[in-house]
Amino acid sequence: MSHLKQSFSVKFEYQIYFSAGLFQPENRTFADFLNIRQSSASRKIFFVVDEGVAAAHPELINNIKTYFQQHQEVQLVADVMVVPGGEPSKNSTALFDELIAAVNTYGIDRHSFVAAIGGGAVLDLVGYASAVAHRGIRHIRIPTTVLSQNDSGIGVKNGINYRGKKNFLGTFAPPAAVFNDEQFLLTLSDRDWRSGISEAIKVALIKDLPFFEWIEAHTHQLAARDMETMNYLIKRCAQLHLDHIGGDDPFETGSARPLDFGHWSAHKLEQLSNFAILHGEAVAMGIALDSSYSYIKGMLTESQLQRILNVLHALSFDISNPLIQISNSNSVILTGLKEFQEHLGGLLTITLLTALGVGKEVHEMDEQQLIEASNYVSAFMLEKTGVSTINH
């Protein structure tokens, strides 16, 4: 018997830029990045914009065109593609096919760039198309929501939903760069502003007690849309995510997914609501359920659990939505456990809490204790609001 073996390492590196007024002519942040990535080949840049962002910022596309008239480091494709935003944009292959067709039509090659401006769903979609066209086109992300600026937009995942399953098709492909422009946050609805905060709570709970305590102390400022406070939250959350991605398993080849704390139920909940529930809202509910389960299992004290639930409540998250209620073994949300395991393969691996700021992986979830945890969250909300959400 004989065999050959090959082994090599690939270094990935990309920058996260924080700016304001990214396409104002005097702002050289974007142009300087393109200068750094010089090439002897002719380079183009093709922009794809979330239609919700285009509507909220009607001057954006003209600003992009004016910017590239002054900064000619690359050739701007004159046609800017506007696509529907939100999770439904990932639910069929139609938009993906349109993006591939555009890459072909405009001659976007591996020396060129595809830049996506929008929320996490649009970034996922465009990132996936960029990753598979020509086996990988340089992708620039310009996230426009709290959730995408502090979490999804700065990572290495891309994908679309398929066969009724979230992110069933996708790639691990780091972006060429990420540009966070705080001015895009000014036009967010209160729901979208609040939604992204849940991912910061999540990463703080599993990795960083001082950050959780900071969030706990600043819930009023965050709810009141104080920009300085939000900028700190986004940057700290982004740093914690980048630290994790730079660890031992950035492409999730194992069964562990600590950054998906609270997500096994959140992903299913989005589908059950036909994506009427925003991802960050679903994550907040998932955090409440898994934190309560951690308490029921004896891993977390009740006072610690109450602090978590109080933060979520102070930020006006509806953590006891009927769709996430677990009343018996037939509760449909429980199918999320199987789908969560299937998505990654191997053992079921769920992150729970042993303390604020400390996560621990477990490999099974007890249905009766999940029912108790679900009822605990409902009782908490009944005490706070006087409205019962327990299903019987």
pLDDT at residue number 292: 98
CATH topology for 15-187? Rossmann fold (3.40.50)
In angstroms, the Cα distances linking 191 to 146, 194, 223, 278 are: 11, 5, 10, 8
Q: Using 50, 70 and 90 to split pLDDT, how confident is the model at 388?
A: low
pLDDT at residue number 169: 93
> Does residue 23 carry a pLDDT above 90?
yes
Q: pLDDT tens digits for 274-287?
A: 889 999 999 999 99
Q: Which of 287, 186, 279, 180 is nearest to 238 (CA)?
A: 180
Q: How far apart are CA 376 and CA 383, in angstroms?
A: 11
Q: Can you give the chain as a three-state secondary structure string?
A: CCCCCCCCCCCCCCEEEEECCCCCCCCCHHHHHHHHCCCCCCCEEEEEEEHHHHHHCCCHHHHHHHHHHHCCCCEECCCCEEECCCHHHHCCCHHHHHHHHHHHHCCCCCCCEEEEEECHHHHHHHHHHHHHHHHCCEEEEEECCHHHHHCHHHCCEEEEEECCEEEEEEEECCCCEEEEEHHHHHHCCHHHHHHCHHHHHHHHHHHCHHHHHHHHHCHHHHHCCCHHHHHHHHHHHHHHHHHHHCCCCCCCCCCCCHHHCCHHHHHHHHHHCCCCCCHHHHHHHHHHHHHHHHHHCCCCCHHHHHHHHHHHHHCCCCCCCHHHCCCCCCCHHHHHHHHHHHHHCCCCCEEEEEECCEEEEECCCCHHHHHHHHHHHHHHHHHHHCCCCCCC
Least confident of 138-142, 179-183, 295-299, 361-365: 361-365
pLDDT at residue number 302: 98
pLDDT at residue number 390: 54
Q: How far apart are CA 217 and CA 234, in angstroms?
A: 16
Q: What is the mean pLDDT of residues 210-234?
A: 97
Q: What is the pTM of this model?
A: 0.89
pLDDT at residue number 392: 42
In percent, the amount of the chain with pLDDT more than 70 equals: 94
CATH superfamily, region 205-385: Dehydroquinate synthase-like - alpha domain (1.20.1090.10)
> Does residue 147 carry a pLDDT above 70?
yes
Q: What is the mean pLDDT of residues 7-33?
A: 92
Same fold, 15-187 and 205-385: no
Higher model confidence: residue 127 or residue 387?
127
Q: pLDDT tens digits for 73-125?
A: 899 999 999 999 988 889 889 999 999 999 999 999 999 999 999 999 999 99
Q: pLDDT tens digits for 153-177?
A: 998 999 999 888 888 899 999 999 9
Q: What is the mean pLDDT of residues 118-136?
A: 95
pLDDT at residue number 377: 97
Structural domain boundaries in the chain: 15-187, 205-385
Q: pLDDT tens digits for 240-259?
A: 988 888 776 677 665 456 67
Type of residue found at 353: L
Average pLDDT value for the chain: 92
Q: Using 50, 70 and 90 to split pLDDT, how confident is the model at 40?
A: low
